[in-house]
Structure 1
């Protein structure tokens, strides 16, 4: 039995009676278009049979390219990031790239240290889901000449390409939905204002309140310290203490909304009989909580795909202009909201 990894391109070529360059092209995603489909299938079958695995280190030395990209996440346990990662991997794997995922938290120092570690590993670009509105890491990456694309969040200066959802519009969809159900006293559990998602969703809330002519004194806003269930519960308790007669609450994301569920239950209030709740993100499984959460759906997988496409384009120098892609969200109505 052949040792895994010992098979060479030359041996595959001898097995099939073709030139080694043909095998090399067929197994390289960037050149396989030059080879016929039937030949590619024969070569792939032979490679699998003989236990061939490409030597990434050798290829990197030979070509000067690592075929690696990095993805920075603020919290890998947040279900929102799974579909984003799937979308990224879908595009990068087709391009022959491998992905290093780093859970770097929110501390600037740890993010910078990880960036330099990946630079040492010769990554060809980064996708950042971690940025704040004024983010030092972006400038550090630019100083290193490292291609960078932002996903889900953006920075205020818009120095690099980004792919986000239309956060302000998503919030307006939520408010319009509640307004149509007869709600006039609507609270907002806002996200951290140093993040574009928190800032723009808060902006969308205020714009919708003004547009509908609602009384600002009856539409309280409480900022969450983080996008977590615990922070959502704390903010919901604060809001109830300030304005106990609100009839609906719009949360800055689904985890915050679940925290609101917790706080309302402890306060002896029922969703939606006493208070309607709307989330934001439509993260996996929120349709299975009780009651199923009405929310704003973001195309997270498509966010990942678009971010990866932009990064591949920058790495391959297919286009140097900065691009800002904004995807449209949609309202998903479930059982956590009801008519007054």
Structure 2
């Protein structure tokens, strides 16, 4: 044989039809053939030095077999296990994922989406949605299958996989109340995100249920879900005169920022102020003190988001779905009984 081997050469060497050879070499289609045939074709391809032209195949199928994923902050360690779940589910159907970071900036997110669309990706998984983007999200979903991850937009007709924010905050408030805390502060997440809004509303509902009157000095809004904002907001709480004995932060990074502010103020956690987070991101148990938090199933959420997206891609008439995954309370050393000294 002279020159680069062709698919027809592989088919002849494996004694199969070229279309069968093509399916055997396509991860998304190989499952339709017997393992013996797939192995024979792949062995022939390896012996001949043949490599499948994925780009040409995608043009024939009108599919890129690529999925675009956007997260708001790559430094947040909750997203790698989510992305692993996405990759594991996609790879089973012969798809791959491209990951990008929006840095909490809607304009950057829109630019990334435009690039994904220009590259004709088959679908999008977005963990960076803002609640005011309902109209734009509906328009986007009419162009390409979309699934929202960790956040949602109630007014948009888009599938979503989220954790149960209300249940998580309610469980954490009950935990702190059970330790004797009555002056519980809340560092709320950005109010242009579903997680920020839902967790703040859940906190207010829990506070009313357990204590009645709410002290406005005990609630402060973070601009981003970041350690720096957690530090700034905790400093504000300590200086505002509300005298909190516990801080329920809307995510783990905000809680970690609190720990620094408390230490700088010469106070002890949890002796003087208990601190709790939300998400149970990897390494939350490694901070000092180890962080009490609400665990959401990161890997399962990513896996389910990818499964829903593949269903949307395959369905002739896609159906919008919403999956809510139960959280669990993880108690560590950053929360303790209230001090009455």
TM over 0.5, yes or no?
yes
- Residue 299 of structure 2 corresponds to 301
- How many residues in Structure 1 have an aligned counterpart in Structure 2? 336
> What are the Cα deviations for residues 284-331 of structure 1, in whole angstroms up to 9, with x where unaligned?
111111111110001111111111111111111165221111111110
Q: Could you tell me how far apart the structure 2 residues matched to 1:102 and 1:291 are?
A: 32
**Given that residues 218 and 246 in structure 1 are in contact (C-alpha distance below 8 angstroms), is that contact kept between their aligned partners in structure 2?**
no
> What secondary structure, in the 3-state scheme, does the structure 2 residue paired with 1:134 have?
helix
Q: Could you tell me how far apart the structure 2 residues matched to 1:99 and 1:221 are?
A: 39
> What are the Cα deviations for residues 214-242 of structure 1, in whole angstroms up to 9, with x where unaligned?
54128811111111101000000111112
- Residue 100 of structure 1 corresponds to 98
TM-score of the superposition, structure 2-length normalised? 0.91
1:17 matched to 2:15? The reply is: yes
1:331 matched to 2:329? The reply is: yes
Q: Could you tell me how far apart the structure 2 residues matched to 1:244 and 1:200 are?
A: 23
**Given that residues 133 and 154 in structure 1 are in contact (C-alpha distance below 8 angstroms), is that contact kept between their aligned partners in structure 2?**
yes
> What are the Cα deviations for residues 158-208 of structure 1, in whole angstroms up to 9, with x where unaligned?
321111101111101110111111111111111011110010001111111
**Given that residues 182 and 211 in structure 2 are in contact (C-alpha distance below 8 angstroms), is that contact kept between their aligned partners in structure 1?**
no
**Given that residues 147 and 311 in structure 1 are in contact (C-alpha distance below 8 angstroms), is that contact kept between their aligned partners in structure 2?**
yes
**Given that residues 138 and 158 in structure 2 are in contact (C-alpha distance below 8 angstroms), is that contact kept between their aligned partners in structure 1?**
no
Per the alignment, do residues 46 and 286 of structure 1 end up closer, same or farther by CA in structure 2, a change over 3 Å counting? farther
Q: Could you tell me how far apart the structure 2 residues matched to 1:74 and 1:46 are?
A: 45
User: Which runs of no fewer than 5 residues in structure 1 stay unpaired?
Assistant: none
Q: Could you tell me how far apart the structure 1 residues matched to 2:5 and 2:167 are?
A: 55
Q: 2:243 aligns with which of 242, 245, 256?
A: 245
- Residue 122 of structure 1 corresponds to 120
Q: Could you tell me how far apart the structure 2 residues matched to 1:302 and 1:45 are?
A: 35
- Residue 220 of structure 2 corresponds to 222
Q: Could you tell me how far apart the structure 1 residues matched to 2:73 and 2:152 are?
A: 17
RMSD: 2.2
**Given that residues 217 and 242 in structure 2 are in contact (C-alpha distance below 8 angstroms), is that contact kept between their aligned partners in structure 1?**
no
Q: 2:257 aligns with which of 250, 254, 259?
A: 259
How far 1:110 moved relative to its partner? 2.7
Q: 1:208 aligns with which of 206, 209, 214?
A: 206
Q: Could you tell me how far apart the structure 2 residues matched to 1:102 and 1:112 are?
A: 12
Q: 1:316 aligns with which of 309, 314, 317?
A: 314
TM-score of the superposition, structure 1-length normalised? 0.92
- Residue 31 of structure 1 corresponds to 29
Per the alignment, do residues 84 and 7 of structure 1 end up closer, same or farther by CA in structure 2, a change over 3 Å counting? farther
How far 1:21 moved relative to its partner? 2.8
- Residue 137 of structure 2 corresponds to 138
Q: Could you tell me how far apart the structure 2 residues matched to 1:87 and 1:7 are?
A: 36
**Given that residues 151 and 307 in structure 1 are in contact (C-alpha distance below 8 angstroms), is that contact kept between their aligned partners in structure 2?**
yes
How far 1:45 moved relative to its partner? 4.5
- Residue 184 of structure 1 corresponds to 182
Per the alignment, do residues 223 and 31 of structure 1 end up closer, same or farther by CA in structure 2, a change over 3 Å counting? same
Q: Could you tell me how far apart the structure 2 residues matched to 1:51 and 1:285 are?
A: 44
> What secondary structure, in the 3-state scheme, does the structure 2 residue paired with 1:230 have?
helix
> What secondary structure, in the 3-state scheme, does the structure 2 residue paired with 1:119 have?
helix
